[in-house]
Amino acid sequence: MIELIKGDITYYLETNNSEEISELFRLADRIRERYVGNKVYLRAIIEFSNICRNNCKYCGIRRDANIKRYAMKPKEIVKCAQYAEDLGYGTVVLQSGENSIYDDKMADIVREIKETTKLAVVLSIGEKTYGQYLEYRIAGADRYLLKHETSNPKLFYELTGRNLENRLQCLRWLIDLGYQVGSGNIVGLPGQTIEDLANDLLMFKEWDFDMLGIGPFIPCHGTPLENHPPGDPILTLKVIALARILTKNAHIPATTAIRTVLGDDKAHLIFRCGANVVMGNVTPLEYRKLYRIYPGKVCNFKDPESWLNDIKEQIREAGLKPSGEVGHSLKRRWRLKTLKLKHNNKNFDLKKC
């Protein structure tokens, strides 16, 4: 059993020695093989609205960005999810900027997808109230993605204008409500130190998240950080590898951001240093180009079918097997199948997965 302490983590994050870096990647690859096997789970993502009330300095769809905004209709979202199932996906991720347009529609959208497909439904719609998270869980949402972006509270505030504590509270609520929860960070944010990254990694382990999204910072035109250098791809791969070694069986995607900076020809490497998930974009093309969180996204112009063929090829090239299974969390706590909880004097029995 390998147990890394903070000093080891910092050492590996800092080393330029290519032998040591390869050794780290090989170790992560072995741990991935042992704890999660050789399947790479395919998840579909629908970016259903770029309307956002937040003003994060790194993000291309921030409130002050001068871009055309869109909000897909609930029916379009459901149709798109059904299309994802037809393509062979087992999971659909519904992601949007943080807005309140869907607050009273989300539960119906989730319910309809759960009633008409076998898909696992993942929400990625930002910070909400406990009551809203509960409502969406009752409607059948299985998982939730809410990256903490950086575990440094000062840096988080500086970049997002918001308090990290609120986000952590949301993550606690989501865990309490029996969601499979994904967090994650951005590597190479302006002002971020190696120690910050080591703390992110220790937080991944301590919170025992079900999923972890790790990607490099990519400067985006029209944001306050447009002239800052992008995050280093090797450093990002190291963070992915260390996350695998520390957390063992978390689901870790080869994020669009890391695939974008590495380019298509090197993307298969990500699956050999810890990643075991990949997301395919099924957002209708007319909207997809407007969901420009950062430029150059690898998936921007490909139609979902040819994209799927390409990614399956990359996965096989890495010696692994693409899988359209539902691919729920591998954490032990999921063996407990139901969760009983009380809210506003009412009792709820929630099925876990």
Question: Stretches 28-36, 203-211, 214-222, 321-329: which one binds ligand 5AD (CB under 6 A)?
Answer: 214-222
* Stretch 142-171: interaction string toward ligand 5AD, x if CB under 6 A: -----x-x----------------------
User: Does position 12 bind ligand 5AD by CB under 6 A?
Assistant: no
Least separation in angstroms between residue 60's CB and ligand 5AD is 6
Count of residues that interact with ligand 5AD, criterion CB under 6 A = 12
* Stretch 85-104: interaction string toward ligand 5AD, x if CB under 6 A: --------------------
Least separation in angstroms between residue 5's CB and ligand 5AD is 27
User: Does position 218 bind ligand 5AD by CB under 6 A?
Assistant: yes
Among 90, 215, 253, 304, binds ligand 5AD (CB under 6 A): 215
Closest CA to 192 of 162, 220, 152, 239: 152
User: Does position 210 bind ligand 5AD by CB under 6 A?
Assistant: no
Choice between 22 and 193, CB closer to ligand 5AD: 193
User: Does position 240 bind ligand 5AD by CB under 6 A?
Assistant: no
Among 13, 40, 46, 59, binds ligand 5AD (CB under 6 A): 59
User: Does position 186 bind ligand 5AD by CB under 6 A?
Assistant: yes
Question: Stretches 86-94, 164-172, 175-183, 215-223: which one binds ligand 5AD (CB under 6 A)?
Answer: 215-223
Choice between 133 and 294, CB closer to ligand 5AD: 294
**Which residues lie near ligand 5AD (CB under 6 A)?**
58-59, 147, 149, 186, 215, 217-218, 220, 257, 293-294
